[in-house]
């Protein structure tokens, strides 16, 4: 399998930006149950960007790739007005055990492996509204690889899942629902968020992609009337290097939670797969 992803800076620190971009690129392989082994840098850098900043971006990406056991074997750089960085990633997977967006079945339980709120937190950072502790927490999650989550899913027989990135939890969830010919029911109060996400949502610190996600995906989403507009937008919030959304067979859920605890891999049960189509978001 071969994937690629790159984007403009989401945080101020160039090393963190490189590490986040690399983790995000590697996630596409982990989301399919694969193991990455080779990568190529993709970079677009301003001609006047100081060499030490460019070097830190590359170092962040290289060290994150090394953590994943991945060799960066070159790449390509062009000039651009705004920095952009990411990876082409090559990985391998067993075709008989791959995780795809299809294959979710009614009765499966929906599990997440990272909280939401990266979009509003990083937008608040750009606006000068974010607390340093909240930014540090977001960075800690975004640089985390999805390797353990992927291994956990495979060990428990999960065959349907995706990573939660730019299309938001609801957008990527709808991709799973459509590919599987099912509906999803999510419980709002079970969905994990970063500590500052609700406050930044009240400040309206949503990136443009969040508004676009809402416009595109909302016709297939039904909300409990008690869920207010800002809470709804948090579920459309565009994520960077988010976690995995997994459809876990009900018979495997207890085993998955037990294994996750032993691996120190966070998991949150947030809903279920149901007959029908689209996504329903309830309070409980």
- Strands in 2-117 per DSSP E: 2-7, 35-45, 71-79, 84-92, 109-112
Mean of the per-residue pLDDT values of the chain: 97
Share of the chain above pLDDT 70, in %: 100
What pTM did the predictor assign? 0.96
pLDDT value, residue 107: 97
Per-domain boundaries in the chain:
2-92, 109-282
pLDDT value, residue 248: 98
Distances (CA, A) of 210 to 113, 118, 169, 205, 255: 21, 11, 11, 10, 35
| CATH pick for 2-92 out of 3.30.1330.10, 3.40.50.2000, 3.40.718.10, 3.40.1410.10 | 3.30.1330.10
CA 256 to chain CA centroid, nearest Å: 20
pLDDT value, residue 121: 98
Fold of 109-282: Phosphoribosyl-aminoimidazole Synthetase; Chain A, domain 2 (3.90.650)
Structure tokens at 179: 């590919």
Share of the chain above pLDDT 90, in %: 100
Residue-wise pLDDT tens digits, 165-221: 999 999 999 999 999 999 999 999 999 999 999 999 999 999 999 999 999 999 999
Structure tokens at 99: 């995780």
Distances (CA, A) of 79 to 42, 47, 59: 11, 6, 19
Residue-wise pLDDT tens digits, 189-202: 999 999 999 999 99
Distance CA 70, CA 204 (A): 38
The sign of the CA dihedral 33, 85, 80, 74 is negative
pLDDT value, residue 127: 97
């Amino acid at each position: 399998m071969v994937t690629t992803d790159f984007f403009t800076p989401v945080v101020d620190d160039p090393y963190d930006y490189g590490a986040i971009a690399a983790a995000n690129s590697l996630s596409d392989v982990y989301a399919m149950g694969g193991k990455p082994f080779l990568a190529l840098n993709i970079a677009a850098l301003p001609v006047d960007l100081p060499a030490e900043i460019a070097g830190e971006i590359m170092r962040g990406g290289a060290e994150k790739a090394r953590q994943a056991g991945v060799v960066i074997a070159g790449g390509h750089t062009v000039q651009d007005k705004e920095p952009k960085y990411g990876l082409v990633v090559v990985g391998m997977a067993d075709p008989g055990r791959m995780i795809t967006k299809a294959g979710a079945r009614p009765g499966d339980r929906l599990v997440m492996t990272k909280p939401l709120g990266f979009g509003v937190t990083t937008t608040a950072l750009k606006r000068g509204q974010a607390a340093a502790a909240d930014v540090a927490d977001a960075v800690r999650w975004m640089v985390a690889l999805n390797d353990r989550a992927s291994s956990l899913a495979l060990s428990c027989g999960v065959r349907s899942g995706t990573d939660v990135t730019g299309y938001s939890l609801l957008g990527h969830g709808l991709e799973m629902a459509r590919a599987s010919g099912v509906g999803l029911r999510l419980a709002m109060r079970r969905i994990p968020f970063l500590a500052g996400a609700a406050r930044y949502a009240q400040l309206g610190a949503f990136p443009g992609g969040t508004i676009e996600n809402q416009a595109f995906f909302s016709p297939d989403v039904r909300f409990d009337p008690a869920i207010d507009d800002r809470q709804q937008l948090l579920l459309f919030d565009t994520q960077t290097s988010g976690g995995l959304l997994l459809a876990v067979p009900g018979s495997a859920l207890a085993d998955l939670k037990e294994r996750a605890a032993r691996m120190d891999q966070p998991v949150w049960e947030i809903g279920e797969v149901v007959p029908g189509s689209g996504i329903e978001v309830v309070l409980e």
